Structure 1
Amino acid sequence: MIDRLLSRGHELESAYQELHHKLGHHPHALQEFLAKLLNTAAFWKPEDMKAARASRYRLIEVNRQIADKASELSKLLDERSVLHNHSGFASNTHYHVCEVIQEASEDNPLFGMEIGDKLSRLHYQYDLKYWPSLSDFMDELAQDANDADIEATDPLTKAATESSRSSKGDFLRAFLAAIEESSAQVFGRLPSDLKITDNTMASLINCALELRVGEMASADYVKRFRQKVRERSIRTSYWTSTSN
């Protein structure tokens, strides 16, 4: 990617001039900006964000299945308890949560060294009525999975996957978030009033992502994109303030 940016220097000449003019007199700001450009292009390019969206949808489905299966298992555990108590038969299976924890931790030496004896004392100090049942645990796992709120674990992935479809806008959105994240307002190295022109942003996108002629971003594309981002931010701020 660095070689590509260097080899296409003639296309980026005006972009480099603008960056040097706006960042050259700020300590380490130019290096920081170029590092954000490279990192964003490396890890938040459209094909990566397509995979990220697929992972998000899969996580939603996995949580749904966990909720269903944990709820089903809870009912089976309750039924087994009834059979143990009223059928005249028993299956010599776990009935106390402490037993499950102890057996599950059998291969964890740290558990035995630090926790095992303490848990065992609590187990025998307090009878079954003080502890959640196994079915209670399953109910909690089911409820937890059912209530899961899927969120991106970093601001760039969150920004890049806001739209429902993958496009070069994913990269632009993530890049804008990376610039904001590095602003002096949040103790970064980039000046708080940094404004990169639409022409320069378009040139950087085209070269960093190596877009073909029919896919290239124009200055008008960047301008419209930024306007949509601003409008969405205004709407979000409005609804947040009115809901509070």
Structure 2
Amino acid sequence: MVTPSQIAKDACEKILIDDRRYNIEHNIWPSQVVVVDRLLSRSYELLKPYQELHRKLHRHSRALLAFFDVLLGAAALWNPEKIALARAARAKLIATNGEIALKAAELEQLLRQRERLHDTSGFSSGTHYHVVELIEAAAQDNYLFRSHVQEPLCALRFKFDLKYWPGLPEVMQALARDAQDAATNASDPVTAAATAGRRASLVDFFKAFFAGIEENGISHGGFLPSHINFTDATFAALVNCALDLTPEESVDGPYVKRLRQGMRDIQKAAKSREQVGDADYLA
């Protein structure tokens, strides 16, 4: 007789094996293949989690598949090592915008100096002076620009005198200001959750994992039922195996419980601050 435990294990591992086969056949997502291999090799630790997942999700269309998509994606993209890389990339982006702001400001001054020299030195260098001219030069290898945009843009250029257009120094000034004022924000909720803390940690991974589950809920157009929750022990076991944590590194149900409670407290505090701010605004 096939037990409920065996049915759940077979259903969950079929999803993992199919995903692994597809990725290998199409030569994609090797990092997810690694995560699948970890889960399959530690299946004895996942019998109870698989039972809970199967019991709560198998009646909902594509829900079980969607859950494993979130788990594999989080473990492949948002493990602590990848989170550290993401934080480094964010810092690099901030620094790059700062450099762009400085360089563009320097270039603005050089362009103004060149304009003065053209006007006063008795010499000219035959360089670009009109913003449309600069755009044309930049787009010379862009077939779509030359086919559809260049002619009407040039007509517009000659329809209006130079005084109607920004000069090249003003273009650089706008570029410098844009980089200087740039706000570096995460492009999606999962990235935001994974990089919100001060340093990369397992807590950040859990935040990304939970954010991924929420983003794939029915209320967001996904397949995971919004009203379904899983035990702390199930989350702990899944993460231990997906990240291949050693016994010394592994977490348990109480750890996840404290983490989730802390996240709820932070959300409540943030919501209270918003309500206070709204009340102050209305007053």
TM-score over 0.5 (shorter chain): yes
Structure with higher RCO (Cα < 8 A, 6+ apart): 1
User: Matches of residues 188-207 of structure 1 in structure 2 within 5 Å?
Assistant: 188-207=222-241
SS class of match (1:92): coil
- TM (normalized to structure 1)? 0.94
Shift in Å at residue 98 of structure 1?
A: 1.3
Task: Name the aligned partner's letter for residue 117 of structure 2.
Answer: L
Please report the TM-score for the alignment, with normalisation by the length of structure 2.
Answer: 0.82
Partner residue in 1 for 2:160: 126
Residue aligning to 1:239: 273
- Matched AA of 1:232: I
Structure 1 partner of 2:71: 37
- Give ranges in structure 1 of 5+ residues lacking alignment: none
Which letter does structure 2 place at the counterpart of 1:165?
R
Residue type of the partner of 2:55? H
Moved more, 210-219 or 128-137: 210-219
Shift of 1:121: 1.5
1:11 to 45, 58, 82: 45
SS of corresponding position for 1:31: helix
Tell me the residue number matched to 2:150.
116
- Using a 3 Å threshold, how does the CA distance of structure 1 residues 11 and 74 change in structure 2: closer, same or farther? same
Q: In structure 2, the residue corresponding to 1:115 is in which secondary structure?
A: helix
Q: Which of 212, 216, 220 is 2:250 aligned to?
A: 216
Q: CA deviation at 1:11?
A: 1.1
Which segment drifts farther, 127-136 or 161-170? 161-170
| Separation in structure 2 between the aligned mates of residue 239 and residue 22 of structure 1, nearest angstrom | 35
Distance 2:222 2:132 in 1: 48
Matches within 5 A, 1:1-244: 1-244=35-278
Task: Give the whole-Å Cα distance in 2 for the aligned partners of 1:49 and 1:15.
Answer: 26
Q: CA deviation at 1:147?
A: 1.0
Using the TM superposition, give the Cα deviation of residue 134 of structure 1 relative to its aligned residue in structure 2, in angstroms: 0.4
Aligned equivalents of 1:113, 1:182: Cα separation in 2: 42
Give the total of aligned pairs: 244
Letter of the 1:60 partner, please give it: I
Cα distance in 1 between the residues matched to 2:226 and 2:272: 24
1:191 maps to a residue whose letter is P
Secondary structure at the aligned position of 2:82 is classed as helix
Q: What SS does the corresponding residue of 1:234 show, helix, strand or coil?
A: helix
Could you tell me which amino acid in structure 2 is paired with residue 52 of structure 1?
A: A
Q: Structure 2 stretches of 5 or more lacking a match?
A: 1-34, 279-283
**Cα shift at 1:82:** 1.6
Deviation by residue 1:165-195 (Cα, 9 ceiling, x = unmatched): 1112222111101111121222321111111
Alpha-carbon distance change, 208 to 109 in structure 1, aligned in 2, over 3 angstroms? same
C-alpha deviation, 1:201, in angstroms:
0.7
Output the amino acid matched with 1:233.
Q
Q: Which amino acid aligns with 2:229?
A: K
- Determine helix, strand or coil for the equivalent of 1:211: coil
